Structure 1
């Protein structure tokens, strides 16, 4: 572990953190929550976004793009066709074979989880709020959908009023 550079700097911890986000051009909320609550930053941090192409299948050679942002941060974009099995673990193995350095057993996947809360002043009937929240709650678990190793996933949540 490296000492803090300033009183307010997060502690550096070994390993790799992969932060899943839909918007790679902004800092992922889950990264900010991790620093705010845990006061740590990994040695290597990857902002990962997953895109679904408008074609049935994306060839393996076109599956990913890695951009090094700094010594500690990289941007990884994975692309899958709409008929592809969106297996992130398998895609990461391919990235590793081509030079992307990380060890799966020292890698943590950070996912944001939103808890929807109905606002009685939203203007919608209460039953519509409840229906929307129920549908959102029944969505597939991203750990399962993206084939992430369940024992390597960390979920940080926030409440969102609708």
Structure 2
């Protein structure tokens, strides 16, 4: 069963240092008025903070116009996560596999990067063998 209201949030990283707050958020109701599902796109420059709760607060006025109230203090967050492992693909040299796996394992914790509350965040994902 889905929650009463669902926001599918997409982060779009732009190749500029900063995106103004008024240009940062766009909201789409996906064409079905009574399903409670909305798509929110957040445009961010490479110097902008990737604070997702803050982005939801910025999107709240547009969501209220669509008859959806957002309580950021009670929101639940679901992240997609991919775990990369070394495989046995002959077309990719072993040193490149090892380098890619090491870089993937050293990636920043996305819960912290996105400023998400750990007690209300669930990471779901898959394992990928190179």
TM-score range, shorter chain: 0.7 to 0.9
Matched residue of 1:119: which SS? coil
Residue 65 (1) aligns with residue 31 (2): no
- TM-score under structure 2 length normalisation: 0.82
Structure 2 distance, partners of 1:144, 1:77, is 20
Q: Which moved more, 1:113-122 or 1:65-74?
A: 113-122
Match of residue 139, structure 1, among 102, 107, 120: 107
Q: Work out whether residues 63 and 78 of structure 1, in 8 Å CA contact, stay in contact via their aligned partners in 2.
A: yes
Matched residue of 2:5: which SS? strand
Q: Which residue of 2 aligns with 1:80?
A: 44
Q: Which residue of 2 aligns with 1:156?
A: 124
4+ residue runs of structure 1 moved beyond 4 angstroms?
Answer: none
Q: Work out whether residues 89 and 149 of structure 1, in 8 Å CA contact, stay in contact via their aligned partners in 2.
A: no
- TM-score under structure 1 length normalisation: 0.67
Task: Give the RMSD, CA atoms, in angstroms.
Answer: 1.8
Matched ranges for 1:13-52 at <5 A: 41-52=2-13
Instruction: Deviation per CA, 1:49-108: give whole Å up to 9, x if none.
Output: 111223322111111011012222111001122221122211211222452522234421
Count of matched residue pairs: 123
Show structure 1 runs of 5+ residues with no match: 1-11, 13-40
Show structure 2 runs of 5+ residues with no match: none
Residue 130 (1) aligns with residue 91 (2): no
Structure 1 distance, partners of 2:29, 2:98, is 43
Residue 109 (1) aligns with residue 73 (2): no
Query: Which structure has more strand as a fraction of its residues?
Result: 1
